[in-house]
Amino acid sequence: MHHLTFDLTDSSDDILTLEAMASTREAEHPAVMAEVAQVLAWAQGEFSGRQGPVEDGFAWDHELLVQHEAGGWVTVTLTFSATAEFVEAFQAAFIPADED
């Protein structure tokens, strides 16, 4: 990942929030969306059939927000609600050990 940065938040209800975010100029937006597509393809492949509300027993769910800002900036936020199993697999796939 060259554009997306990741932040993990724990909660008291065993649902973790993993947020991936990038703020770039319009020209770089397609590259950001390619990274988003890569992450979502991984989630759908590795946890196939397990997407849905985590509080209902699913492994993961997501929300994608794209905001066009003044000055030609675009902010992309991909937020996962997930189980610990999903987050551990995600970190192994996308976050180098020296960054966690």
| pLDDT at position 95 over 90 | no
Report the residue count for the chain: 100
Structural domain span for residue 17: 5-99
Alpha helix segments (H runs only) across the chain: 29-46, 84-94
Domain count, the chain: 1
Residue range 37-71, pLDDT digits in tens: 999 999 999 999 999 999 999 999 999 999 999 99
pLDDT, residue 27, reads 95
| pLDDT at position 82 over 70 | yes
d(CA 56, CA 32): 31
pLDDT, residue 99, reads 53
Q: How confident is the model at residue 1 (pLDDT cuts 50, 70, 90)?
A: confident
This prediction has a pTM of 0.90
The domain that holds 34 is classified in CATH as 3.30.70
